[in-house]
Chain A
Amino acid sequence: MFKRTSPFIYDVKNRMKICGILCLIAPVAIGLRLFYMQTFLHDKFTTKAERAIYNYLAEDRLRGKILDVNGNFLAQSVRTHSCGISKRYVKDKNKTISFLSQTLGIPKQRILEKWNRNRNFFFVAKKIKPDVYMEIVPTLRTPLGQGLDLTPEYERIHPYGNTALDLLGAANSKNFGLSGLEQMYNRELSQDISKKRAKRARRGEIIYDRNLKEHLSVGDVYLTIDLQAQFFAEDALKKAVEEYGAEHGIALVQEPSTGRILAAASYPVKDGQSLAFQFTYEPGSTFKTIAISSALDAGTVTVTDAIDMDGRKWEVARGFTIRDNQHDKDFLSIPEIMQLSSNIGAGKIATELGAKNLFYYLKAYGFGTKTDINFNGEAKGYVPPYNKWTKVDLATKGYGYGISLTPIQLINAYSAIANGGTLMQPHLVDRIEYADGRVEKKAKPVKIRRVIKPQTAQIMTKVLQSVVEAGSGKRAQIKGYTVAGKTGTAEKLSKEGGYGKRSHIVSFCGFVPASKPQFTVLVVLDNPSKYTFGGTAAAPAFKQIAENLLTLKGIAPDQVDFIN
């Protein structure tokens, strides 16, 4: 093409230029390509690079523990995993299924049944324990593990089985509280961990970065519940419910001086549904304590007064007569009214006190108002306004009909008598301890108000003591200890209207030792299948709970004439 004689090609400068241009072609082409990539394909490559370098850690929710007052775990979240299969990524179906069947202990047939359904993804097992998880993890990067997926989730574990489950409630596998205290204290118990960008290595492992660590503020909730006391209450309640064929049962234990709830049992147990706070009923004779203590405090009667029994048939108003069939006395003193559980006596005392005064005391004792114990669905009961009460309403309220209350309200009122007349704020949560060291004290003793004078409380305690020593509550006697309490047997409203003899509620509420009360205990049995009484069915359960508590806490006998 070029002639040897051509000066252009033999000119060294020209040759240098050609070489230079040839050398520049590649860098210019690369440069142009880079320019094109940087300008027009920027987004595509950035995403690709991000995917190669970074991994997004899944959002997570941590959850604190729920413990009893002594630090025993009642509910705790444990991190587990679910194992799933994406069918389209599985290399060798038979080998993978055999491996999973062997590792997870699930029959091959069951896995195959799931496999044969139309979905591409399905879960083989949930809540895999850590040991099994450790066996599966190494296979994930081998052909055997292709298509397997381990998704983190949580299991809320209750090491004591059903103990206090009605209080605790439930939390799901995403660590979210669904019922009971789990729901009530969800904000304090749980913490959301935000989605974070973490650097990952070639094989997908996350590269540690200290900035990824989140500040923990999750809290552990300590209840006022004592595990041992709760067990005693549940054990005695279960026995009583089963023995008398009751529909439900409730047992509550309270510390009268502080208002702390030591045990709150319902039977049968339904998680997150505590009958101790949600159940309302007409209390019957256990309420005589409230009406009579109110009258004693107001001074409308004295403990030595003899009440005329009107021949054990008292016509309150035309067409409404109260009868006492359990005794044949013409006059009864207040201790006798309580011992014999006289409806006439209690009705007359309530009438003497008057509607306005009785209403004032009922409100002062906390009836018809929520106790604010902080439990979801707490009922407030019902006390109708006194200006709507008839003469009959007033008399029947004296022995616990025509009003409805919750077990927590009744035990709190008895605790007020036990502690000398002060209504205390009941507590279920003792404290919340946060991960950052903060402690939020919840169960400081709070006096709501003085309901009755200390002298009245003292007299009432003696009266209640006489019920256990010589009255309907004899089966609640504990050797070596003074016990104060009252039985209750109330007929329930029937669906047809009026009170049915077949449907009733039996209860016993009292405190021990009467000389220096440490525990107030209430036992309620709803609708026992056998006709029974508070003194027969509920008092023995009270005795069992109280005896065990006295032993557990090492409380010395207070009966002076007690010989060991």
Chain B
Amino acid sequence: MKIFAVLFFISVFAMGVVVMRMEINRSGREISRLQNQVEVKEARNQYLQLEIARLESPANVSALAREKLGLEFTKPHQVVVLED
């Protein structure tokens, strides 16, 4: 009876270990999948940031301001500098 009980507990423990290992692997796979998604999203985000930078570039803004709004660069003497 004692041997049976010991064998039973060993079996339950072994099952537990197997289930835990499987769960670790499953979570690992999930993390990897999510990491891959994060990498792709980050790359996409980088492209968008760079697109923003391109649109905000002085060359682009000044060309648009000149063409669409007829604006010109301010001359320095037209700027009033406020002292603290």
Contact = CB atoms under 8 A, between A and B. Distances in A.
B13 to A, nearest CB: 23
A208 B32 contact: yes
B53 A160 contact: yes
Describe B's contact surface by its main secondary structure. Answer: helix
B40 A207 contact: no
Given A479-B75, A557-B76, A163 B59 contact: yes
A228 B31 contact: no
13 contacts: A129-B44, A134-B40, A157-B50, A159-B57, A160-B59, A161-B59, A231-B58, A478-B76, A551-B78, A555-B76, A556-B81, A557-B77, A564-B80
B15 interface: no
A130 B43 contact: yes
B29 A205 contact: yes
Interface in B39-84: 39-41, 43-44, 46-47, 49-51, 53-54, 57-59, 62, 73-81
A235 interface: yes
A160 B77 contact: no
Given A201-B25, A547-B76, A208 B31 contact: yes
Interface string A229-270: 001100100000000000000000000000000000000000
Nearest to B51: A159
Given A205-B29, A551-B73, A130 B53 contact: no
A478 B49 CA distance: 37
Nearest to B80: A564
Interface stretch (A20-28, A73-81, A427-435): A73-81
Contacts of A232: 58
Interface of B: 25, 27-33, 35, 39-41, 43-44, 46-47, 49-51, 53-54, 57-59, 62, 73-81
A209 B79 CA distance: 59
B57 A163 contact: yes
Interface residues of A, number: 42
Given A72-B53, A160-B57, A208 B29 contact: yes
A478 B78 CA distance: 12
Contact of B81 (A161, A201, A478, A554): A554
Given A73-B53, A76-B50, A207 B29 contact: yes
Given A160-B59, A201-B29, A228-B58, A129 B47 contact: yes
Going nearest first, the 10 A-B pairs with the smallest beta carbon separation are A480-B77, A207-B28, A208-B31, A550-B76, A159-B53, A231-B58, A130-B44, A208-B28, A556-B81, A130-B43
A551 B76 contact: yes
Contacts of A157: 47, 50
Nearest to A550: B76
B76 A227 contact: no
A481 interface: yes
B33 A227 contact: no
A76 B46 contact: yes
A232 B59 CA distance: 9
Given A76-B50, A160-B57, A161-B59, A481 B76 contact: yes
Contacts of B32: 205-208
A61 interface: no
Contacts of A163: 57, 59
A93 interface: no
A130 B38 CA distance: 11
Nearest to A232: B58
A552 B45 CA distance: 30
Contacts of A227: 57-58
Contacts of B73: 547-548, 551
Contacts of A481: 76-77
Contacts of B49: 73
Given A78-B46, A159-B57, A556-B81, 20 more contacts: A73-B50, A73-B53, A78-B43, A78-B50, A129-B44, A130-B40, A160-B57, A161-B59, A199-B28, A201-B28, A206-B29, A207-B32, A208-B27, A208-B31, A208-B32, A227-B57, A228-B58, A231-B57, A231-B58, A547-B76
